[in-house]
A = this chain, B = another copy of it.
Amino acid sequence: MADNIPVTTKSPKEDFASDQDVRWCPGCGDYAILAQMKKVLPEIGVPREKVVFISGIGCASRFPYYINSYGFHTIHGRAPAVATGIKLANPELSVWIITGDGDSLSIGGNHLIHLCRRNLDVNVILFNNQIYGLTKGQYSPTSPLGKVTKTTPYGSIDRPFNPISLVLSAGATFVARTIDRDTKHMAEIFKRAAAHKGCSFVEVYQNCNIFNDGAYRLLTEPETKFDQVLYLEDGKPLIYGKEKNRGLRFNGFETEALEMNESAENKDLPVHRENSENEAYAQWLSRIGDVPGLPVPVGVFRAVQRPTYEQLSEQQLAGAIQKKGPGDLKQLFISGDTWKVE
């Protein structure tokens, strides 16, 4: 079952646009993400002053300047650390981490996986453009093998990370993917991420039209996208294609692609379960997109409930006070062995 989406009190007409000039390149996919975020935020029921955007460094990471909420543009790769402190200091805040593929998977890889395992209730939005944008076009940990970039004139020899797989193995409790060009889907996923209690990770395929234009062309062009993208829907079979006539199923752990003459919707195909207990299922899904010929799943790969870090932390604090009484400075000082000099 998916998480409930408690879109309760809509903040009445709050405007999340900030007064800063947006300084991305014209045509950058980041604009679409910003637009959806500004659209979604008023709908998630958290007033502006309780929203905090935290980012590292990169084109993506300029995002906080463009949202009129609290924000922190930190240093390269370290937004999860800062977010952890913020959320533990004030668990009531709605905390969003905005990061790029370099920021979160290169220099910041460790903080990201630790964030996931701790299951802090924050939302990570990873703008994956498979390139370092801000530093003008070096390859990133998601650039494909053989990719020619400024620092790989002979082609990259680093096998890319699969971010979905990585955060799954690190223990993320909500894992999803969406595409900059599919704004409706993106908005839906952002809302789901916001609603999820626990660490939500959203990979957004984002086009960098300056240094890596067209990285996702197959997934966004009308001629190809229907056969290249599989929309995950909880409780629904894994089907795709313009006519919904293509489907996936697993045989053991191997993937079978099926093509039929008619819609596959009511065929006997295994259905998608976001909350499948065994992580291996989502892991399997995460690898499908890497296989040539198979579609790239977008949507929610996994959504399960686990206690959040800040809940547990608050509980320990409360428990300690219950057990020992609220800390008393005088008592603290005279605890242990003391002696009196008259």
Contact = CB atoms under 8 A, between A and B. Distances in A.
B279 A252 contact: no
Given A113-B109, A158-B118, A169-B168, A281 B309 contact: no
A284 interface: yes
Interface stretch (A46-54, A159-167, A179-187, A329-337): A159-167
Interface in A93-135: 106-110, 113-114, 117-119
A36 to B, nearest CB: 28
Interface stretch (A3-11, A21-29, A312-320): A312-320
Contact of A157 (B141, B169, B316): B316
B277 A280 contact: no
A122 to B, nearest CB: 15
Task: State the number of copies, please.
Answer: 2
Contact of A154 (B108, B154, B160, B320): B320
Contacts of A168: 169
A281 B306 contact: no
Contacts of A154: 316, 319-320
B250 A252 contact: yes
A147 interface: no
Contacts of A108: 110
Indicate the member of A119, A158, A255, A319 with the most B CB atoms within 10 Å: A158
A74 interface: no
A155 B315 CA distance: 12
A168 B118 CA distance: 20
B306 A278 contact: no
The 7 A-B pairs with the shortest beta carbon distances in the complex, nearest first, are: A280-B284, A110-B110, A169-B169, A157-B312, A109-B110, A253-B281, A165-B169
5 contacts: A118-B157, A159-B171, A252-B281, A253-B281, A278-B287
